Structure formats: structure tokens, C-alpha cells
């Protein structure tokens, strides 16, 4: 199994992203996207090892927030958008707003079985897709770069 921390640090170096150790088990990449005008947008991708998640196998778990689910959220559009993921899925999770109020948050996630991820290039592609799909969903359904 790849060492997640060391792998994410190397991926951060390769994509010129900021890496942060959030705590002993959770890591964060601030993935940059170069825009047509030369400016950058960024998308946070969190990574951790989910122990014994898939029939007793460890998984890498990556996620990126897109926006708060409300009555105005286009749920059908989110389902249509979900068809484009190769490694990723769009889902919602229980969360809290900045003021601590409970909410449901739309996220993009990927959770491959860790032992199936054979190379750093494969892990890079998974992390990149999480960031890219989250950025697209955030822009398309939540009004732009907020997370």
C-alpha cells in the first residue's frame, strides 16, 4: 500500500499545490487550476486512510466540498453531472455551517481500495479528478469558488 502522507506530499510537489497535515490521519491539498486568463482557482481535497472500509480492506478516502444542499439545489442536475466521474461520485454528508448549525453538504469523493492503487500516477489522477469534479460542481450548482 502506498504511504498516503508521503504520496500526497509528492503529488503536492508535482502539481505545485499546498500540502497540509490537518491532523495525524488527515491531509489536505489545495489543488490549483490555471484559468484561461492566467489566474488560478483552488480546490481543497482532503485525504485519509479509512481502515477496513471495504469488506475489511483499507481504502484511501478523498473528498472535496462543493456547497450546502438546500431546497433550491438542482438535484437532478447533480445526478446528471455524476455520470462523468471515473473515480469519483457526488454525494451529500451531514456537516455544519461556519456558525456551527447542522446542514447537508454536497461533496465529491473517491474511495479506492488502497491496495488496488498501484502507483503515484494513479493516485495523482484520482486526487485530480476529485478536485476537478468538485470545482465544476461548485461552479455549476453553487455559484462559484467557495470551498
CATH number at residue 101: 3.30.1460.10
Please give the angle made by the CA atoms of 122, 131 and 120, to the nearest 5 degrees: 20
Residue 82: count other Cβ atoms within 10 Å of its Cβ. Answer: 15
Q: Distance between CA atoms of 88 and 61, rounded to whole angstroms?
A: 11
What range defines the domain where residue 29 resides?
A: 4-142
Which set of grid coordinates corresponds to residue 23? 491532523
Confirm whether 26 is domain-assigned. Answer: yes
Q: What mean pLDDT is predicted for residues 97-124?
A: 96
Mean pLDDT of the chain: 94
- The answer to whether the predicted template modeling score (pTM) of the entire model surpasses 0.95 is no
Handedness of CA 126, 129, 112, 66 (dihedral sign): positive
- Residue 147's SS3 state is coil
Q: In this predicted structure, what is the pLDDT of residue 35?
A: 83
Q: Is residue 147 part of a domain?
A: no
Domain count, the chain: 1
51 domain residue, yes or no: yes
Model confidence over 61-108: pLDDT tens digits? 999 999 999 999 999 999 999 998 999 999 999 999 889 999 999 999
Amino acid at each position: 500500500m502506498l504511504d498516503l502522507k508521503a504520496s500526497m506530499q509528492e503529488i503536492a510537489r508535482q502539481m505545485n499545490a499546498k500540502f497540509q497535515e490537518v491532523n495525524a490521519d488527515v491531509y489536505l491539498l489545495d489543488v490549483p487550476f490555471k484559468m484561461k486568463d492566467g489566474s488560478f482557482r483552488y480546490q481543497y481535497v482532503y485525504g485519509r486512510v479509512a481502515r477496513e472500509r471495504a469488506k475489511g480492506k483499507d481504502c484511501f478516502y478523498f473528498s472535496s466540498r462543493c456547497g450546502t444542499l438546500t431546497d433550491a439545489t438542482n438535484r437532478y442536475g447533480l445526478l446528471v453531472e455524476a455520470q462523468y466521474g471515473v473515480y469519483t461520485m457526488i454525494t451529500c454528508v451531514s456537516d455544519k455551517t461556519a456558525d456551527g448549525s447542522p446542514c447537508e453538504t454536497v461533496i465529491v469523493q473517491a474511495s479506492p481500495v488502497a491496495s488496488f492503487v498501484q502507483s503515484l500516477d494513479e493516485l495523482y489522477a484520482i486526487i485530480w479528478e476529485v478536485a476537478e469534479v468538485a470545482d465544476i460542481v461548485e461552479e455549476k450548482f453553487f455559484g462559484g469558488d467557495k470551498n
